[in-house]
Amino acid sequence: MRMTKQRLIILEELKDCHDHPNADMVYQKVRRKLPNISLGTVYRSLEMLAEIGLVRKIDVPGSRMRFDGNLAPHHHIRCLECGLVDDYPVRFEIDQMEESTAAGYQVMGYNIEFFGKCPECVEKIKLKY
């Protein structure tokens, strides 16, 4: 895969944001630098960057695919109220395990999902009552 100017800018924008955007959100950010870029180009580029391991895809149930430019091992937490996806800084013993075989499987990775309500949504709920 050739690293085009468009792909490089998409990658840079994704690494600069910490809100785990979906493709539409990345498109809005990238358009500031590349006004003529198409949404389709952003979608295809994100898929390609994920395929070669330069970005991480985050599958959020009931929502569009999110992307993460932070490849360091970490988990995510999702707000059930507003949909915000944030980094969850807690490490677990499983994080130290090497990818190995278990029950005949070749383990390629894992995903632990945390969910709850973000501080802003908790505050909004408190203000209602």
What is the SS3 assignment for 105? strand
Examine domains 1-70 and 73-129 and report if their fold is the same. Answer: no
Q: Give the right CATH number for 1-70 from 1.10.150.670, 3.10.450.200, 3.30.420.40, 1.10.10.10.
A: 1.10.10.10
Residues in the chain: 129
pLDDT score, position 122: 94
Specify whether the CB–CB gap between 55 and 14 falls below 8 A: yes
| pTM check: above 0.85 | no
pLDDT score, position 42: 97
pLDDT score, position 47: 96
Q: Which of 35, 81, 78, 44 is nearest to 60 (CA)?
A: 78
pLDDT score, position 110: 76
CB atoms within 10 A of CB 123: 10
Domain 73-129 is classified in which CATH homologous superfamily? Ferric-uptake regulator, C-terminal dimerisarion domain (3.30.1490.190)
Is pLDDT larger for residue 1 or for residue 86? 86
pLDDT in tens, 55-105: 999 988 777 899 999 998 888 999 999 988 999 877 766 655 655 556 777
The residue ranges of every structural domain in the chain are 1-70, 73-129
pLDDT in tens, 17-69: 988 999 999 999 999 999 999 999 999 999 999 999 999 999 887 778 999 99
